[in-house]
Amino acid sequence: MRFFALTLMLSAFSLVSYGQKDIDPSAVPNVVKDAFKVEFADATDVEWELKDNHYEAEFEVNDTDYHALLDTSGKIISHKQEIEESELPAEVLTAIQNDFSDYKVDDAEKLMKDGEIYYQVELEKFLSDQEKVFSETGELRDDISYWN
């Protein structure tokens, strides 16, 4: 049984890693690093990945996990930060309660994209996890991709 669980975890990790390539900070163009530093001056523990021709920075600010996606010119495409369930807007919590009452919130993140704020949540239920994105008003946004 332990072997099966370990095999399953390793398979899941390899799928998540597909399409992402860790890169040395020296390989990140200065224009990208400079734009990142302007927006996230307090960032620590910065790690870079090359993901579909974009640069993804994974970092911390005051012990909170963040991710930022930048294009090759240094423009920030989107960024997200980990939040507590209690930080979700009441409208989002109500939508989850109404539409996913048999699920519990496992992870929550605040996502900033195209000048808009969204909330993405990982909902957990035995053998049936779901990843959903909501607007600030609690509207389910299937048109916005969940960012892993």
- pLDDT tens string, the chain, 148 residues long: the values are 444 443 434 444 444 444 568 999 999 999 999 999 999 999 999 999 999 899 999 999 999 999 999 999 999 999 999 999 999 999 999 999 999 999 999 999 999 999 999 999 999 999 999 999 999 999 999 999 999 9
- Residue 111 has what pLDDT? 99
Same domain flag for 63 and 93: no
Q: Which domain holds residue 139?
A: 84-148
pTM: 0.83
- Residue 21 has what pLDDT? 82
Same domain flag for 100 and 41: no
Contact 47, 36 (CB under 8 A): no
- Residue 20 has what pLDDT? 65
CA proximity to 55, closest of 90, 39, 88, 31: 31
Same domain flag for 70 and 129: no
